[in-house]
Amino acid sequence: MGSLLRLPTELLLEIVSWILASKNRVDIIIKILHAFGLVHPRIWVLIERSLYALDVRYCGSSSLLWAATNGQKATALKALEFDASPNSVDNIYRSALSNAATAGHIEIVKLLLDHDADINLGNDLAQSPLFFAVIEGHKDVVELMLEKRPLFDLDRVDYTGRTPLFYAARWGWADIVDLLLSKGADRTVGDFKGSYVEGVAAEHGCIDVLQVIMTYDMSMLDNPNVANHTPLALATKNGHFDAVEMLVECGANMNARNATGRTPLILATLARHVEIAKCLVQAGADINATDNLDNAPLFYAIKLGIGELITLYSGRGAELAHGKYYWLVDAVSKSGYMNSLCWLLDLGPSGTCGYGSMVFYDALYAAIKYKQDDLVDRLLIGDCPVDPERPSEIDNPYFHLKTPLWLAVEQGNEKLVQRLLAKGANANVFINWGICTSRGRKVGILLTMAITKGKDTIIRSLIDYGAHFDLGDSAEINPLYRVVRKDNIDLVQHMLKSWSVPRGFTHKSKLLTEHMLRTLWMTVIAKGNLAMVRLLLEYGAELCMLCYFRRDASGHLRKIQYLPTAYALKKGAEEIAELLDTM
């Protein structure tokens, strides 16, 4: 390196000229020059102008863009000195001035403005440098720009129709809002969606911005946007309690309606903003004001199960509109808002039908589902329907959906099962196959589900009230078959005593299929349950050839058949074999 530095300046410049004249790509030339310049500061001084010239000519003054972004004033000065354009833009069309304004580098902003940088030069979204300074909250940069370019159009909009003032209000920069308004910015310019400056400030809870705007124009309090939302409505809808409180104190119209006729109080109720609703009511908002659907705040409080607001509105004399009671009973029953249902039952149904209306069937279903015993008692005492309505043209004794009785059996509530059956609940309920499972099994019949739950009292009650145990479920297995396999002799006897078909316990009577009867005999005999065998024979169970399949040594299935007596001997049940031999 020493020998290189001993070369005269003229010769070093000749080397630089030779590098520049080479046929390499520009990026390679720049890399060679950069490496050459790093050898010694003396050489760097010689190649610096050439590097900046290449940057300006081929790289879009990237050095100036980098300096503006990173706050490197010295680099920016050199780039401008070597003819870099103050209006250089990057690959997303953001100028050096925009980058400096975004980062808040005020000295570079001043430098660029002094070199005639265009403050109107926007990016691909039509956002000029002033937009970026405002969005980032750099008040000093905004002040400098307006001082250097006093004729700048403050009401210029970007691709969304928003002005710098709109963005200042959106992000809560109250000092910038004050500055722009003092310079003559028009707050009435809205974006393409119909939002206005005061509206966006209220929507985001920017209290300081609202206070600044009100010092210029108090009429903003009730200025609606395209959806007829006032600032108070927007603050309410978005849950900004402090903004609501401030606007109410300043005299905002608390009963202004939006395009759907909803007041701020209705909006607070729909959004579940309880504290805001309380504030509005305390300030005198009309609790009986209705929207275009003729629904008042109380209606929505009940519909959404907001207990505090139900108490608040009803305590101040709010009443349900005519015809809303039964609709709400149905709605809150299906949505599970038991506090609302309780309030509606306390209010009492209109007319003379009491709880006899079918709408209260859903209420009973919900009360049982959510284990609201008090509500269940009230509904049953009031003769609430215990089964759903069935179209008159369908002649079918079975229900194909869950009923209150199904839920009670599912919960194992013996007392409730008895009450529902006594009220006339249908004991034969079907569920579509695959929808309901119990202990891993698909069940489609209420009695089958009760058997899998294992509560004998409930099973007996269902049988006593007409549950059919000769109908198969999704596996084509009927309840009787399941009980026999459980070795529950008392329950089997109870079933058979209540069976009204006097055709004998054979596969021809359809109480059991031939396959089930054969399997049943094999199960009972294999278990050695002599008492069950006697019981089955007593009620006419037909003896049949028993068979099963087994693979032989070659892997083929072989059908193995036994007479019941032989099968009993094979299983070591000699007493059963003797009994069967006498048949």
Bigger pLDDT: 241 vs 218:
241
Coil/strand/helix, residue 437 = strand
Q: How far apart are CA 200 and CA 220, in angstroms?
A: 12
The pLDDT assigned to 502 comes to 44
The residue to which tokens 């199904």 are assigned: 406
- Taking 70 as the threshold, does the pLDDT of residue 209 lie above it? yes
Q: What are residue 438's phi and psi, to 5 degrees?
A: -140, 115
Q: Which residue has the tokens 């004001």?
A: 289
Inform me whether the pLDDT recorded for 75 exceeds 70: yes
Question: Which band of pLDDT confidence, cut at 50, 70 and 90, is reported for residue 504?
Answer: very low
Give me the amino acid identity at 440. Answer: G
Residues in a beta bridge with 95 = 89
Residue 491 has pLDDT above 70, yes or no: yes
Local confidence band at 583 (pLDDT 50, 70, 90 cut-offs): confident
In degrees, rounded to 5, the angle at the alpha carbon of residue 274 between the alpha carbons of residues 269 and 275 is: 130
pLDDT in tens, 163-181: 999 999 999 999 999 999 9
Instruction: Output the pLDDT for position 512.
Output: 65
Residue 211: count other Cβ atoms within 10 Å of its Cβ. Answer: 15
Residue 154 vs residue 54, higher pLDDT: 154
d(CA 528, CA 318): 72
Kindly report the average pLDDT of the chain as a whole number.
Answer: 85
**pLDDT, average across residues 9-26:** 54
The H or E element containing residue 550 is strand 546-551
- Band (pLDDT 50/70/90 cuts) for residue 457 is very high
- Whole-number pLDDT of residue 543: 82
Average pLDDT over residues 90-102: 92
Q: Residue 12: its pLDDT value, please?
A: 47
CA 88 to chain centre: 46
For residues 433 and 473, give the distance between their C-alpha atoms in angstroms, rounded to a whole number. Answer: 8
Q: Residue 184: its pLDDT value, please? A: 94
Segment 239-244 shows an average pLDDT of 98
Q: From the DSSP assignment, how many helices (H) and strands (E) are in the chain?
A: 34, 4
pLDDT at 95 over 80: yes
Question: Can you give the pLDDT at residue 269?
Answer: 98
Nearest to 104 by CA among 132, 64, 66, 80: 132
Using pLDDT thresholds of 50, 70 and 90, give the confidence band for residue 316. Answer: very high
Termini Cα distance of the chain:
120
- Residue 93's CB: how many other CB atoms inside 10 A? 13
Report the pLDDT value the prediction gives residue 420, as an integer from 0 to 100: 96
Lowest mean pLDDT segment, chosen from 203-207, 270-274, 487-491? 487-491
Exposed, middle or buried, 468 (CB in 10 Å: 0-12/13-18/19+)? middle
pLDDT band at 261 (very low <50, low <70, confident <90, very high): very high
Mean pLDDT of the 46-51 span: 64
What is the rounded CA–CA span in Å between residue 478 and residue 489? 16
How far, in Å, CA of 2 to CA of 69, rounded? 38
33 burial via Cβ count (<10 Å: 0-12, 13-18, 19+): buried
pLDDT of residue 92: 86
* Alpha helices, DSSP H, located in 62-203: 62-70, 73-81, 96-103, 106-114, 129-135, 139-148, 164-170, 174-182, 197-203
Are the C-beta atoms of residues 30 and 57 closer than 8 Å to each other? no
What is the tens place of the pLDDT at every residue in 282-307? 999 999 999 999 999 999 999 999 99
Q: What is the pLDDT of residue 511?
A: 58
Q: What's the rounded mean pLDDT across residues 447-460? A: 90
Q: How many residues does the chain have?
A: 583
Determine the pLDDT at residue 544. Answer: 82
User: How far is the CA of 385 from the CAs of 347, 370, 373, 461, in angstroms?
Assistant: 19, 18, 16, 20
Which pLDDT score is estimated for 439? Answer: 47
Phi first, then psi, for residue 516 (nearest 5°) are: -65, -40
The model's confidence at residue 2, banded by pLDDT at 50, 70 and 90, is: low
**Does residue 372 register a pLDDT over 70?**
yes
- Domains along the chain with CATH numbers: 395-495 (1.25.40.20), 501-583 (no CATH)
**% helix, strand, coil for the chain, step of 5:** 55, 5, 40
User: Which residue did the predictor score with more confidence, 422 or 535?
Assistant: 422
Distant-in-sequence contacts of 1-10, Cβ < 8 A, 24+ apart:
1/39, 1/40, 4/39, 4/40, 4/43, 5/40, 5/42, 5/43, 9/46
Which position has the higher pLDDT, 470 or 387? 387
Rounded to the nearest angstrom, the gap between the alpha carbon of residue 308 and the centroid of all alpha carbons in its chain is 24
Q: Contact at 8 Å (CB) between 263 and 255?
A: yes
Closest alpha carbon to 290 in 262, 270, 312, 323: 262
Helix (H) or strand (E) holding 490: helix 489-498
pLDDT at position 38 over 70? no
Residue 489 in this model has a pLDDT that exceeds 80: yes
The number of beta carbons lying within 10 Å of the beta carbon of residue 75 is 18
Q: What is the pLDDT of residue 29?
A: 58
pLDDT of residue 7: 46
